[in-house]
């Protein structure tokens, strides 16, 4: 039986294969020109509502996950913190968003005790089920609670990067080396 999750996973994999050519010297997958990944508004771990468009002029690094994730999220956030360290002063022109897929547990207070421990500039974002589902759909992120393990939420493990103009540009697997992400962010930041 083919499920909608399987179809979405196939579409994401197909996109990665089609875009695997990196004409600008990117190490990640160049997704320039995709028609998804628009602006959104969610609640930050500070309790303040933020719009992604408020960060124009910065490269946005977006990762979906949850604070109780047993295997993917914390190591990915560690790699993203290492990426910022490698960028040195250029890190000021990058904003990392960690968007939860578990709003039931990941309140602003929960995110505040988790996300900034990796890097003080990271923003943890949450919202209502409806808001998060809409953002995830817009970014082609798949997540679905596991009915047999209610505290586990299988989810897409991709890192999306938007350029300083707010356009989706790059896609990385969650286990991509910090050096490769930093390399590509430097290229994007040079472009403006």
* CA end-to-end span of the chain: 46
Q: What's the CA gap between 82 and 71, in Å, rounded? A: 18
Q: What is the pLDDT of residue 183?
A: 97
Q: What is the pLDDT of residue 69?
A: 87
Total-model pTM: 0.85
Contacts of 104 (CB under 8 A, 6+ apart): none
Which regions in the chain score pLDDT beneath 70? 1-24, 150, 154
Q: What is the pLDDT of residue 154?
A: 66
∠ CA 92-137-177, rounded to 5°: 45
* CB distance 40 to 127 below 8 Å: no
Q: What is the pLDDT of residue 76?
A: 96
Q: What is the pLDDT of residue 191?
A: 87
Q: What is the pLDDT of residue 24?
A: 63
Instruction: Name residue 96's beta-bridge partners.
Output: 61
Q: What is the pLDDT of residue 125?
A: 98
């Amino acid at each position: 039986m083919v499920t909608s999750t399987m179809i979405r996973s196939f579409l994401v994999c197909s996109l990665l294969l089609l875009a695997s050519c990196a004409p600008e010297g990117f190490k990640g997958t160049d997704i320039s020109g995709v028609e998804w990944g628009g602006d959104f508004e969610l609640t930050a771990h500070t309790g303040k509502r933020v719009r992604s468009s408020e960060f124009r002029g910065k490269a946005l690094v977006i990762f979906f996950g949850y604070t109780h994730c047993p295997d993917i999220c914390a190591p990915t956030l560690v790699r993203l913190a290492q990426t910022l360290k490698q960028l040195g002063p250029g890190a000021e022109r990058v904003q990392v968003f960690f968007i939860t897929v578990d709003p039931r547990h990941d309140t602003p207070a929960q995110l505040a005790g988790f996300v900034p421990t990796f890097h003080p500039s990271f923003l943890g974002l949450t919202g209502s089920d409806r808001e998060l589902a809409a953002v995830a759909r817009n970014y082609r992120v798949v997540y679905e609670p596991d009915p047999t393990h209610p505290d586990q939420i299988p989810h897409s493990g991709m890192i999306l990067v938007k350029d300083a103009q707010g356009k989706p540009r790059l896609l990385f697997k969650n286990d991509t080396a910090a050096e490769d992400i930093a390399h590509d962010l430097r290229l994007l930041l040079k472009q403006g």
